[in-house]
Amino acid sequence: MSDDPPEPIPPPSRGKSLARRVGGSILLGLLVGALVQVLIFAVSSSLPWQLVLVAVLAYLVLAGVAIAAKRATRFGAGLLFALGLWVVILAGVCTGTLGRYGA
């Protein structure tokens, strides 16, 4: 036996485990989200409002499932970012229209 004390075991690196937990592409999620939302907006005038509501809710559920999945976390975040951008853009269009033509 030697008189040297045992070497301490280094703590696991937190950065590597976080990198393994997330995956996907935010830009791809933004692109897919924007395309799906434009498609929903384009067909919304010819469909009953209930079907449009179901489509939007299905989009939200899909984004939530993608965020929960380890390999698609960033993709799901991109889907939700796209939804947020869509809301901001439409709010600006609505505000601009009301400001121009009055309420």
User: For 44-96, how does the pLDDT look when each residue is reduced to its tens digit (9 = 90+)?
Assistant: 989 999 999 999 999 999 999 999 988 899 999 999 999 999 899 989 988 88
CA dihedral sign of residues 90, 91, 94, 99 = negative
**Closest by CA position to 78, among listed 37, 6, 28:** 28
Give ∠ CA 12-18-23 in degrees, rounded to 5.
145
Res 3 pLDDT > 60:
yes
Helix (H, G, I), strand (E, B) or coil at 8: coil
**What's the pLDDT tens digit per position in 6-57?**
788 877 666 555 555 578 899 999 999 999 999 998 999 899 999 999 999 9
Tokens of 65: 């499932």
- Model confidence band, residue 5 (pLDDT cutoffs 50, 70, 90): confident
